[in-house]
């Protein structure tokens, strides 16, 4: 299954809202803290981080692997510029690149990524590339959003619209599929699930968080229907169904070893 969201859309979403990202990425930061605890205990001399964003997970990597050389890439140049302001030590290198098309002339002890791989165009092809990117005793670790993300929003929108509404998360991989993909290339693969839920004062607050954290993808494809009146109807349906405006984030943590 290939992601139907264009890389241009993804890049534009993150670049346009880069300056607001750090104020709206609570879930991504929590996923980063959980991911860092799952990293293998090893002497990772060289680390590649894919999709570094504004550098929050990069900082955790730097704290955990103080002597390692970290290369951190992101498709958004605006994100890279913000990350460089946070980490300026000579052993951390940032550069703008699409991991799926970038060419690497070296291998790494660890390749890792937080809350990014659900945006890849083709996770199956990327898994093979990841195997080639790590050394013989290396590891790949990442977190990735699952298809149940924003399930309450989808249900509420569909109830008001009166039809099936495609959501970005519909394209995300489930736990079984992630395991199948990576077991084609790695001998030891572990995938665990974590459900996180956030509650918001209003639907407008939730939509603002979705927009500024970059998780909107292509949106719900409703175009001009997104009027204040339509949003209010969705919020009312939210309250009717769930008693509050909440959002589920389904997150998978994957560890893969050669």
The mean pLDDT of 75-102, rounded to a whole number, is 94
pLDDT digits (tens, 9 = 90+) for 122-174: 999 999 999 999 999 999 999 999 999 999 999 999 999 888 888 889 999 99
pTM exceeding 0.85: yes
Helix 7-16 vs helix 77-86: crossing angle, to nearest 10:
40
Collapsed DSSP state (helix, strand, coil) of residue 83: helix
Domains of the chain, start order: 7-146+170-195+250-257 (3.40.50.150)
Q: How many CA atoms lie within 13 A of 233 on its CB side?
A: 13
Q: What is the mean pLDDT of the chain?
A: 91
**Is residue 5 pLDDT above 70, yes or no?**
no
Under 8 Å between Cβ of 170 and 227? no
């Amino acid at each position: 299954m290939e992601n139907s969201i264009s890389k241009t859309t993804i890049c534009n979403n993150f670049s346009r809202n880069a300056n607001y990202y750090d104020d709206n990425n609570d879930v991504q930061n929590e996923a980063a803290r959980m991911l860092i605890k799952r990293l293998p205990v090893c002497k990772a001399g060289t680390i590649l981080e894919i999709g570094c964003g504004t550098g929050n997970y990069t900082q955790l990597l730097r704290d955990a692997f103080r002597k390692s050389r970290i290369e951190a890439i992101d498709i958004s140049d605006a994100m890279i510029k913000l990350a460089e302001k946070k980490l300026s030590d000579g052993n951390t290198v940032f550069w703008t690149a699409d991991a799926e098309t970038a060419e690497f002339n070296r291998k790494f002890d660890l390749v890792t990524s937080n809350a990014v791989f659900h945006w890849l165009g083709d996770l199956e092809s990327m898994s093979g590339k990841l195997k080639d990117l790590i050394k013989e005793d290396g590891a790949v670790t990442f977190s990735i959003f699952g298809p149940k993300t924003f399930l309450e929003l989808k249900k509420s929108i569909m109830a008001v619209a009166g039809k099936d509404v495609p959501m970005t998360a519909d394209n995300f991989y489930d736990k079984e599929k992630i395991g199948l993909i990576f077991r084609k290339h790695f001998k030891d693969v572990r995938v665990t699930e974590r459900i996180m839920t956030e509650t918001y004062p209003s639907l407008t607050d939730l939509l603002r968080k979705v927009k500024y954290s970059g998780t909107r993808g292509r949106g719900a494809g409703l175009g001009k229907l997104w009027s204040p009146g339509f949003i209010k109807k969705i919020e009312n349906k939210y309250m009717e169904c769930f008693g509050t405006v909440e959002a589920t984030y389904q997150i998978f943590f994957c560890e893969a070893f050669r």
